[in-house]
Amino acid sequence: MNKIFFYKIYHANLAFSSIEYEEIPTVIDKCYTPLLEFVQKTETKIGIELSGYTLEQIKYFRPEWIKFFLKLYKKGLIELIGSGYMQIIAPLTPYKVNLYNQEVGLEIYQKILGLRPKIAFVNEQVFATSLVDLYFEVGYEALVMEWNNAYSANRFQFLREDAYRPVYIQGIEHSLKLLWSDSLLFQQFQRVAHFEITHKEYIQTLQEYINKGYKTLPLYSSDLEIFNYRPGRFSTETTLTNDEWNNITNLVKKIKDFGSFILPSQVLKFTINKTLQLTNAKNPILVKKQKKYSLSRWAVCGRGSNYINTLCHQNLPHLNKKLLEYFGSDYKTHITYKKYTKAIKYLEKNRTLTQHSKPRNVKKISLILFQRFAIFSQNNFNLQFNLAKGATLHSIHYKEQEYNFGSVLHGEFEHIDYGADFYTGTTSIESSCFPKATNLHPTHIQAYAIENGIYVFSSTTPLNQFAKEKKRWILDTNTKKLTLQIKLYTTQFFPASIRLGTFTLKTQQISDNLWYSIANGGKIAEKFSLKEQEISQHKPISLHVSSQSGLGISDGKISFGKEQTTLAEIQVDLAYSTPFVMLQHNQDRSNTLTRLHFGLQEIDDTLKEHTQREFKLQYSINLNL
């Protein structure tokens, strides 16, 4: 039998979305204290990931737990794994917030425990390459990240044996050691702990892993709050009938016949000299577990996450621990109504809104009407809007030179899947419950000249009897910037995907070395090649999950280019509204189709009915290229 070392990391999070604040003492008593008692009784070495917030709550409600933890720590039975002050979806969050989150977390570990962890558990196992540099910056030596989705995203580059022991993980400028977590393994452990499968069945699964050649094996790396307690997220949660900690104790005795339990930091000595790059153009952000865990769940699902995320961005000038709390992932998914309303009240009260002075000398101007187009032609600019399709942008020229965005028309592709028109400025509401609604209807457009060379083109288009769009295109001829501003008004809650203002890049040659560049929560932007890539982040996984993946765009900016030339540069105003951005990049025999979809609401298992009836989007396109 292969000699194998097991390790476990319990994820402790007292900001758990579906747990009310008043329940915290109960959770500590039923989950946190029994864990320490289990460690003491069985002398099983474990790691425990604690956020700074969680540690503060433990100290407040059960200070004796801290003493118990330190007693086991001094015996070498338990180890602190870092998290940050809050569990935050870093790729969706600005760098300065992520940095502050880690710094505050480390300060609290030192203050309460007198410890500084050297291993960090990537929050919610949502990973982007630039985060390696962030964790390196604050002093971590190693990260814990999920194997399963990293392997699935790189199955032609990774070897199966790359999971057998720790490796190195590559960032932009730095690398760190990497311990694997394993979703399939921890789900098996949860099932046996909950009496859903027998000890014998679990041991058979364990034996299969051992036979494959694993040297170190992550038996558990997930929630602590699910043993002898049920957080109440799902209707499918098993009923508590027996003592699960006693069950775990008996199971661990059997597991010890196959190998030894060691601390996560002790696992690091088995690290092999191999460095892996976990992300790629199709998967710039990795998300944990099965496909239903789309990145959209923390961006625009939950109980109106678009609104709470927008409020967080409006509060950025007042970055503090309270704001970190509301940037936390648990406020975006199964958040209770009570916790959600408390967050909204605080964020609305403290936000900073940009004040715009009313423009003077507003003058209505006429546009040239030709067939289905309204044409503006002044100051060396020529813009064409398609009035038959909701005042979408057909094209824009400067001094006869056409920009690389607008509309791609039917017939430009040979592949029948792309035998349609693709516009810039499309809005849609889509669900399996009712017919798709879009803004691609005949409309009128009004144009105004404002002081300092600014022109505004506005339209109002009904999508259906329940939704109406108000759109403004704003051309600044001095700064050379085109801004799209959309407000969608609805009369009811739609269990639907709501997407505004789709951006379409003009057709490029398949032979071009296309790329895109974005920030995913780190200090440095990440650049990916689009050559020979098929990316459809905007497509649904199922009737119940409306998107496959997305981009972080944590500073609001995304650029497209080829070779050394930038083709388009888009800046999303995240404080106006924080969308979930999805990339589409398809190709036929000779051409490419590249689009950005801006989701203000997506569908998944966390989506709950909410009161938001206005959805907004604003982004600007740099015309100085």
DSSP 442-482: ----EEEEETTTEEEEEEEEEEETTEEEEEEEEEETTTTEE
Give the Cα-Cα-Cα angle 432, 435, 436 (nearest 5 degrees). 90
Q: Is the pLDDT of residue 176 over 60?
A: yes
pLDDT of residue 289: 85
pLDDT of residue 232: 61
What are phi and psi for residue 233, nearest 5 degrees? Answer: -80, -40
Q: Is the pLDDT of residue 236 over 70?
A: no
Domains of the chain: 5-290 (3.20.110.20), 298-350 (no CATH), 363-622 (2.70.98.10)
What are phi and psi for residue 500, nearest 5 degrees? Answer: -120, 145
pLDDT in tens, 125-174: 999 999 999 999 999 999 999 999 999 999 889 999 999 999 999 999 99
Least-confidence region, from 297-301, 345-349, 409-413: 409-413
pLDDT of residue 433: 85
Residues 159 and 168: their CA atoms lie apart, in Å, by 14
Mean pLDDT of all residues belonging to the chain: 94
Q: Is the pLDDT of residue 1 over 50?
A: no
Rounded to an integer, the average pLDDT of 46-51 is 98
Q: What is the pTM of this model?
A: 0.95
Q: Is the pLDDT of residue 24 over 80?
A: yes
The band of 406, judged by pLDDT with boundaries at 50, 70 and 90, is: very high
- From the number of C-beta atoms within 10 Å of its C-beta (0-12, 13-18, 19+), residue 260 rates as middle
pLDDT of residue 466: 94
Rounded to an integer, the average pLDDT of 332-359 is 89
pLDDT in tens, 350-380: 998 887 777 778 899 999 999 999 999 999 9
Q: Is the pLDDT of residue 2 over 70?
A: no
Above pLDDT 70, what percent of the chain? 98
Rounded to an integer, the average pLDDT of 475-491 is 97
Residue 399 has a CB neighbour count (10 Å cut-off) of 7
pLDDT in tens, 89-101: 999 999 999 999 9
Rounded to an integer, the average pLDDT of 247-271 is 97
Residues 563 and 453: their CA atoms lie apart, in Å, by 33
Q: Of 294 and 2, which is predicted with more confidence?
A: 294
